[in-house]
Amino acid sequence: MSSTPRFVNAVYYPGWSVYKGFSPSSMQIDCVDQVFYAFTRLNPDGSLRFLDEFGDSQKPVDGEQGCLRALAKLKRATPGLKTLVSIGGGGGSAEFPLVAADPACLQTFARSCRMFVDEFEFDGVDVDWEHPTTPRDGANFLALIASLREALPSPQYLITTALPTGEYCLRNIDLYVLGQLLDTLNLMGYDFTGPWTAVSGHHAQLFPQLGPQENIPPALCNSCHRGVTYLTSHNFPPGKILLGVPAYARSFGGACGINEQFQSAEEMEYKEIPREWTQAASVHRDIGAASYVDYSPDGKGFVSFDVPDTVRQKADYVKQMGLAGLFYWTSAGDLQGAESLVRAGYETLNAQGGSVGTTGASTANRT
């Protein structure tokens, strides 16, 4: 693995996966450039706490005590590998608004992050505040990132953040200023549809559905490209965007295609999807998505997921658009070998030219 890859291929490693037999050493580290350790939590005073003290720091893992030490060991054995601790997450973001609004808490936060990073041999911090949804939160979010940058100066340390493609969040943040502070922005190119939407749809499509957007339900208009376009049109550097790929599927029981009502919605890891589904999946290259319909009695219905072919298309898109690379949520959900999403992305990012099929014509005509 090159110590200075042209494109980054990154994964989130969820600490709880160690209880399912997936330790840091289980990752396909030969095709990974960065690892985000998910998650560490935030206290109301700005200090940090373990999400799972036993798993993070005490459980025997890969010959070390805890997943954090095991990841540090893996990093020492892998030249060029960068590791970051991800703070917050979907279930751990409630403290961010208050901490970010209090200068004293911000100082505590930045100081705690520096100590945590140095203790566990990380290269930096990934902020996963889900999500700043008001102008006040957006301004305080920038203050939080700025306090981190002061405590973790560049280029010695990396600072990243995970943000959605939705304008409900991005419009609250001065993206030009954010671009000056961050090393990369991890654009969450997934969860466009799910149990919260009125109809079924692809949950991680690269491009929006074709046709007049006014005739398409709002839930189906979101896309990776839409998020990238919004960022770059608001002066965020494309070369600092990592595009997210889900290593999991979303299913819509009772639906047989997009834009249909459904009775139930579920999530399953990519490695848990029946192989006959992925092998028989319909790959929609016009929008960069794959799907399968489970018609069996009490089946899953319409199922949306990525396959190696769609990941290669997203990697080609990254290269064409001059983005920083790809990331995956999560490494624990992926398969090994030829069906691996992470490996498909890595090989395409590092190949000369593009993979079979290109995104050029499609990208040029998208808005």
The more confident residue out of 90 and 6 is 90
The more confident residue out of 2 and 199 is 199
In a domain, 261, yes or no: no
**Torsions phi, psi for 89 (to 5 deg):** 100, 170
Q: What is the CATH number of the domain that holds 335?
A: 3.20.20.80
Kindly state the average pLDDT of the residues 83-109: 97
In a domain, 216, yes or no: yes
* pLDDT given for residue 355 in this prediction: 56
Kindly state the average pLDDT of the residues 246-273: 97
Q: Is the pLDDT of residue 359 over 50?
A: no
- Give the whole-angstrom CA distance, residue 72 versus residue 64: 9
In a domain, 279, yes or no: no
* pLDDT given for residue 219 in this prediction: 77
In a domain, 281, yes or no: no
Per-residue pLDDT of 126-161, as tens digits, reads 999 999 999 999 999 999 999 999 999 999 999 999
In a domain, 252, yes or no: no
Q: Is the pLDDT of residue 4 over 80?
A: no
Structural domain total, the chain:
1
* pLDDT given for residue 353 in this prediction: 67
DSSP 240: G
pTM for the model: 0.94
- Give residue 361's pLDDT band: very low, low, confident or very high (50, 70, 90): very low
Instruction: Give ∠ CA 41-246-26 in degrees, rounded to 5.
Output: 70
Kindly state the average pLDDT of the residues 75-88: 98
* pLDDT given for residue 217 in this prediction: 82
In a domain, 298, yes or no: no
In a domain, 272, yes or no: no
- Say if residues 317 and 348 touch (Cβ distance below 8 Å): no
Kindly state the average pLDDT of the residues 63-71: 98
In a domain, 181, yes or no: yes
Domain carrying residue 29? 8-246+306-364
